[in-house]
Amino acid sequence: MARCLFVLLMSTLPQAVFADDLNSGDSAWLLTSTALVLFMTLPGLALFYGGLVRSKNVLSVLMQCFALTCAMTLLWVLGGYGLAFGDGGDLNAWIGGGNVLLADVTRDGLAGSIPESVFVMFQMTFAIITPALIVGGFAERMKFAAVMLFSALWLLVVYVPVCHWVWGGGWLAERGLLDFAGGTVVHVNAGVAAIVTALVIGNRRGFPQTAMMPHNLTMTVTGASMLWVGWFGFNAGSAVAANGDAGMAMLVTHISAAAGSLAWMSIEWIKHGKPSVLGIVTGMVAGLGTITPASGFVGVGGALVIGLAAGVVCYFSTQAVKRTLQIDDSLDVFPVHGVGGILGTLLAGVFVADNLGGAGYAEGMSMGSQLGVQALGVAATGVWCAVATWVLLRLTQAVVGLRVAPETETGGLDIGEHDERGYIL
């Protein structure tokens, strides 16, 4: 909601507002937040994912995260930002427009109390990390050319429209959807895209009979720690100001991450007799992803419940996808990010209530009506993402093919796709 109000404010301002209206504190915080969110992808997510795959594929994951950062940046500049946050005229409920090559972004132009250039860059980091999250769904078996083509198409066809619906003044924003920092735009989108991709491309050779253990949990914990720190920019930065909303978003983000970690760890400890390092860091990511849509709206009590629920629900979702359904979502993107995003978006509609410590409902809204809007946002995002992702995968298959050859998969993508090795021992 804070971001929606920000977009409405932007629409009432002239394109260039002089610097005496700039708030240096807000600007400094958004500059810092932007760096933190990029830090989540490079190096955070890259190291987190890199450690989770087998050693023969570590470079392929690092390469994919790095290359997607570059490609999504250029697409955002070419037109992605304008389509997400511009005025789409008669089609504005569905898509924006204008600002090709950021032609309207000037040195002195402001967006609210911050330079528009900073807002462009902040939003760019979200457009970077969302396709990078999907990498975990098809890790260790997709062609590099397919990764690049599919991700480019996906950003423009899936991410950009949903971003406009929720944060750019589109139809979900008009209905009052609460998504402070990306429950639908980032996590539901990435989770659904990952499981659709896993289904279309098929399981890795040997899954589920052959154990495919992480090759370097030290690397994974290092990346997870970077994600935890970077997530403060992700959530608290989405207040688009250095204010009380940002402070509370930071506090509840940390609480949820800690609660999710301990919940997941405790379940494993009870079920298997020992707490695992992989479990505690995965629970942290679940806690962070689940609090994301609610972070600017809920209080401390809500954050504690959301974090604990994230650890429990996402743990059992992971077991269901991997063991019961035997779907090879390689790095658990859907059960952690997708399910967490759904859960957090729905719980935002509950714990925003002022009598539960939240910011309170908008005028005319009740818990029931707000939950209806939250469910609509989840359903619309999930359906659009699933259908569009399937079509884009089929198109990618027709153009460059999706999956590497069996011998390349067996030998590893590091050698087969990049002619390099992650380790020379």
Taking the C-alpha atoms of residue 238 and residue 3, their distance in angstroms, rounded to an integer, is 7
Could you tell me if 236 and 246 are in contact, meaning their C-beta atoms sit under 8 angstroms apart? Answer: yes
Could you tell me if 54 and 30 are in contact, meaning their C-beta atoms sit under 8 angstroms apart? Answer: no
Which of 101, 132, 50 minimizes the C-alpha distance to 422? 50
What per-residue confidence (pLDDT) applies to 19?
44
Residue 384: alpha-carbon gap to chain centroid:
16
User: Confidence class of residue 401 from pLDDT cuts 50, 70 and 90?
Assistant: very high
User: Confidence class of residue 8 from pLDDT cuts 50, 70 and 90?
Assistant: very low
Q: Does 348 score more than 50 pLDDT? A: yes
User: Confidence class of residue 12 from pLDDT cuts 50, 70 and 90?
Assistant: very low
Q: Does 260 score more than 70 pLDDT? A: yes
Q: Round the average pLDDT of the chain to a whole number and report it.
A: 95
Taking the C-alpha atoms of residue 335 and residue 57, their distance in angstroms, rounded to an integer, is 22
CATH code of the region 22-411: 1.10.3430.10
Q: Does 413 score more than 60 pLDDT? A: yes
User: Confidence class of residue 130 from pLDDT cuts 50, 70 and 90?
Assistant: very high
Residue 260: alpha-carbon gap to chain centroid:
17
Q: Does 312 score more than 70 pLDDT? A: yes
DSSP state of 114: E
Q: What is the CA radius of gyration of the chain?
A: 20
In this prediction, residues 273-288 reach a mean pLDDT of 98
Least confident of 17-31, 72-86, 319-333: 17-31
In this prediction, residues 23-51 reach a mean pLDDT of 98
In this prediction, residues 318-344 reach a mean pLDDT of 98
Taking the C-alpha atoms of residue 103 and residue 117, their distance in angstroms, rounded to an integer, is 11
Cβ burial of 359 (10 Å; 0-12, 13-18, 19+) is buried
User: Confidence class of residue 3 from pLDDT cuts 50, 70 and 90?
Assistant: low
What per-residue confidence (pLDDT) applies to 11?
44
DSSP state of 362: P
What per-residue confidence (pLDDT) applies to 18?
38
In this prediction, residues 131-150 reach a mean pLDDT of 98
Taking the C-alpha atoms of residue 289 and residue 183, their distance in angstroms, rounded to an integer, is 7
Taking the C-alpha atoms of residue 343 and residue 276, their distance in angstroms, rounded to an integer, is 24
Instruction: Count Cα atoms within 13 angstroms, Cβ side, for 424.
Output: 3
User: Confidence class of residue 16 from pLDDT cuts 50, 70 and 90?
Assistant: very low
Within 12-112, where are the H helices? 24-39, 46-52, 58-75, 81-85
What per-residue confidence (pLDDT) applies to 425?
78
pLDDT in tens, 203-225: 999 999 999 999 999 999 999 99
- Residue 391 neighbours by CB distance under 10 Å: 12
In this prediction, residues 395-421 reach a mean pLDDT of 98
- Residue 213 neighbours by CB distance under 10 Å: 10
